[in-house]
């Protein structure tokens, strides 16, 4: 039992994990929750690869670092605050592969059209993250390693119709996470048409 409002408001990226394993029964609860998300035509085109093998986790970490060095760092450097950049960099260069479990969420191209991958997979990913939070697990939604999708494909023996979309480290958090920082919804909400602020004077332009 966990209150959904508390879980939604506390779910956030974890980038440092304890060494302790996450057992199969706990992973099962998280993946079961993922499958209750909606998908186009209810086709459920998700495939999960649960990586516990240390060599494979290390290899995913290396793919991640390669993608970071190949351009993602330069792109982020100009855009993120120094603190967020340092957090993300720590996750990329150590945290993700240091998690005891990495779940690679893939789209099954034999079950669904590519145009529906985003709307059919990321709701399941969010259920997964919320379920992890409800259990007290740390997690993070990352997509950076998928930019080297062919290397992930080789590592995980994915057939051609299986496309990795998200890479989620999962484990017990090394430290207590602070609250997520968000812009109030009213700053990004309009009534009936763009430009008519939800609360007068609040909308972005």
Part in contact with a copy of itself (CB under 8 A); list of ranges 15-23, 26-34, 62-70, 92-100: 26-34
Residue from 49, 63, 92, 99 in contact with a copy of itself (CB under 8 A)? 49
Residue 119 sits in the site that holds a copy of itself (CB under 8 A): yes
Part in contact with a copy of itself (CB under 8 A); list of ranges 15-23, 63-71, 91-99, 116-124: 116-124
Q: Is 197 exposed, middle or buried (0-12, 13-18, 19+ CB in 10 A)?
A: middle
User: What values do phi and psi take at 104, rounded to 5?
Assistant: -100, 120
**SS3 at position 139:** strand
CB 96 within 8 A of CB 51: no
Nearer to a copy of itself, 19 or 36 (CB): 36
Nearer to a copy of itself, 157 or 176 (CB): 157
Q: How far is the CB of 152 from a copy of itself (least distance, A)?
A: 11
From residue 74, give the alpha-carbon distance in Å to each of 89, 104, 129: 11, 25, 28
- In the range 65-84, which residues lie near a copy of itself by CB under 8 A? 76, 79-80, 84
For residue 158, the tally of other CB atoms under 10 A from its CB is 18
Residue from 66, 73, 172, 198 in contact with a copy of itself (CB under 8 A)? 198
**SS3 at position 205:** coil
The size of the interface with a copy of itself (CB under 8 A), counted in residues, is 81
CB 17 within 8 A of CB 172: yes
- In the range 126-165, which residues lie near a copy of itself by CB under 8 A? 126-127, 129-131, 134, 140-141, 143, 155-159, 162, 165
């Amino acid at each position: 039992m966990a209150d959904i409002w508390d879980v939604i408001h506390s779910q956030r990226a974890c980038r440092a994990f304890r060494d302790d394993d996450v057992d199969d029964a706990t992973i099962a609860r998280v993946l079961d929750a993922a499958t209750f998300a909606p998908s186009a035509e209810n086709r459920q085109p998700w495939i999960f690869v649960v990586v516990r093998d240390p060599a494979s986790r290390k290899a995913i970490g290396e793919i991640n670092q390669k993608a970071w060095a190949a351009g993602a760092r330069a792109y982020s450097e100009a855009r993120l605050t120094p603190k967020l950049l340092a957090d993300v960099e720590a996750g990329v260069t150590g945290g993700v592969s240091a998690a005891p479990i990495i779940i690679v969420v893939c789209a099954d191209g034999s079950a669904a059209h590519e145009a529906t991958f985003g709307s059919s997979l990321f709701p399941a990913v969010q259920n997964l993250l919320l379920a992890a939070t409800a259990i007290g697990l740390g997690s993070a939604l990352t997509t950076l390693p998928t930019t080297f999708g062919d290397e992930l494909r080789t590592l995980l023996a994915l057939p051609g119709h299986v496309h990795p979309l998200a890479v989620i480290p999962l484990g017990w958090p090394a430290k207590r996470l602070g609250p997520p920082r968000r812009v109030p919804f009213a700053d990004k909400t309009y009534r009936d048409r763009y430009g008519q602020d939800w609360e007068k004077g609040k909308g972005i332009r």
